[in-house]
Amino acid sequence: MSNLDSKVCLVTGGSSGIGAAVATAFANRGDRVVIADIQDDTGISLAKTLDADYYHLDVTDLMAWTDCVDNTVSKFGRLDVVVNNAGIFRGGTVEEVDLADWNHVLAVNVTGMMFGCKEAIRIMKENPGGPAGSIINVSSIAGLRGLASGVAYCTSKGASTLLTKSVALHCAREYKTIRCNSVHPGAIDTPMNQAAFDASADPKGMRDFFESIQPIGRMITAKEVADGVVFLASDDASSINGTELVIDGGWMAAPNPL
């Protein structure tokens, strides 16, 4: 994707972590970027830095989604890329999980993602020049294998893996040139993981343990995930549809230590 084919890109959860890195990577390529999040202060501040737009969007609210994408199209005339990245983690095994946590995780990580796909397609199929677009869903390696201590999260990420394939096949059948793929980060150094370390009895020990079980001996940066997202958004990935891009330093290649 060169600066000559600058795109209009909407990134949910773009105020922090992976989403902020994705928004930054798009902006650095000369794309028009809309950061959509509920963390307004950090999102607005990042948007100013990147010369991007910020939109308050709770991804669980379909009407808010409709407003957000309609506003984007009013301003830029099209929508090329939607990155459904907003996500939350709540711990707990199946015996421990709190129902409110379960419902919240599924609402944000699954229903919010489905709304994002639905609204993306509504606009992308009407793009000037014909249907076109790339939808990228941020799942997890927890969407490809089990995670005992996060039953709600693991269930939600598994759902996002197959949600992506359903959307991809629908888009291929109906529009040909709208694609949908999932990205599966491993252990990424973001506020989400830092919060989990901080909540443990030994934050530094927990971080050291996490680093030590990585095949490449370190956590992955949010920018490294963003680089994969930018590739899937680009025309270089024009035949890649319904696939799973694992960005984990090889973690999935090893037996699961968790």
Closest separation between CB of residue 184 and ligand NAI, Å? 7
Q: Scanning residues 60 to 99, which ones bind ligand NAI (CB under 6 A)? A: 60, 85-88
Phi-psi category of residue 149: left, alpha or beta, with phi > 0 → left and psi -120 to 50 → alpha = alpha
Instruction: Please check whether residue 184 is in contact with residue 207, taking contact to mean a CB–CB distance below 8 angstroms.
Output: no
Alpha carbon separation from 250 to 18, 19, 171, 196, 247 (Å, rounded): 19, 22, 30, 22, 8
* Binding flag, residue 22, ligand NAI (CB under 6 A): no
* Binding flag, residue 18, ligand NAI (CB under 6 A): yes
Beta-bridge partner residues of 246 = 184
Interface map 210-229 toward ligand NAI (x if CB under 6 A):
--------------------
Among 9, 12, 46, 127, which residue interacts with ligand NAI (rule: CB under 6 A)?
A: 12
Closest separation between CB of residue 142 and ligand NAI, Å? 7
Among 19, 116, 133, 150, which residue interacts with ligand NAI (rule: CB under 6 A)?
A: 19
How many residues sit close enough to ligand NAI to count as binding (CB under 6 A)? Answer: 29
Alpha carbon separation from 78 to 81, 87, 254, 258 (Å, rounded): 10, 25, 42, 43
* Binding flag, residue 188, ligand NAI (CB under 6 A): yes
Query: CB under 6 A: which stretch of 31-39, 162-170, 200-208, 227-235 binds ligand NAI?
Result: 31-39
Query: CB under 6 A: which stretch of 57-65, 119-127, 173-181, 233-241 binds ligand NAI?
Result: 57-65
Phi-psi category of residue 168: left, alpha or beta, with phi > 0 → left and psi -120 to 50 → alpha = alpha
Helix axes 112-124, 151-174, angle to 10 degrees: 20
Closer of 33 and 108 to ligand NAI (Cβ): 108
Instruction: Please check whether residue 150 is in contact with residue 89, taking contact to mean a CB–CB distance below 8 angstroms.
Output: yes
How is residue 138 written in tokens? 């941020």
How is residue 36 written in tokens? 């959509």
Catalytic residue list contains 153: yes
Among 192, 206, 240, 252, which residue interacts with ligand NAI (rule: CB under 6 A)?
A: 192
CA distance 52 to 23: 8
Closest separation between CB of residue 164 and ligand NAI, Å? 13
Instruction: Please check whether residue 18 is in contact with residue 37, taking contact to mean a CB–CB distance below 8 angstroms.
Output: no
* Binding flag, residue 182, ligand NAI (CB under 6 A): no
Q: Scanning residues 104 to 123, which ones bind ligand NAI (CB under 6 A)? A: 108, 112
Residues near ligand NAI (CB under 6 A) are: 12-13, 15-19, 37-39, 57-60, 85-88, 108, 112, 138, 140, 185, 187-188, 190-193
Active site members:
153
